[in-house]
Amino acid sequence: AMLTSFLPSAISFIDFLKDGLSKLLHQKVRNDFLILLMVFIPPTVCALIYPSIFLHALSFAGGFIDVLLFGVLPALVVLFGRRLR
């Protein structure tokens, strides 16, 4: 689960950094290895220092989605349902 959520985010972040640094430096970034280090080193260090952080983030996101699905979404369905009548 961690790999499937980490890799697409990392790949998109690599492209984001390439575009941002190219515009900031006004030239094309040629050193892909430096960008890879900028993307992969901080989460790796964070995971090594605090190994259970992924489970804490997952429980936080699960609680947030529970509130959204069972609290906000039904209220919005009723609100929009009454407006359509």
pLDDT tens-digit map of 55-73? 888 788 888 888 888 888 9
pLDDT tens-digit map of 1-30? 667 877 888 889 888 888 888 888 888 877
What is the mean pLDDT of the segment spanning 37-64? 86
Instruction: Give pLDDT, residue 49.
Output: 92
How many Cα atoms are found within 13 Å in the side-chain-facing hemisphere of 1? 4
Q: Which helix (H) or strand (E) holds 85?
A: none
How many Cα atoms are found within 13 Å in the side-chain-facing hemisphere of 22? 11
> How far apart are alpha carbons 71 and 69 in whole angstroms?
6
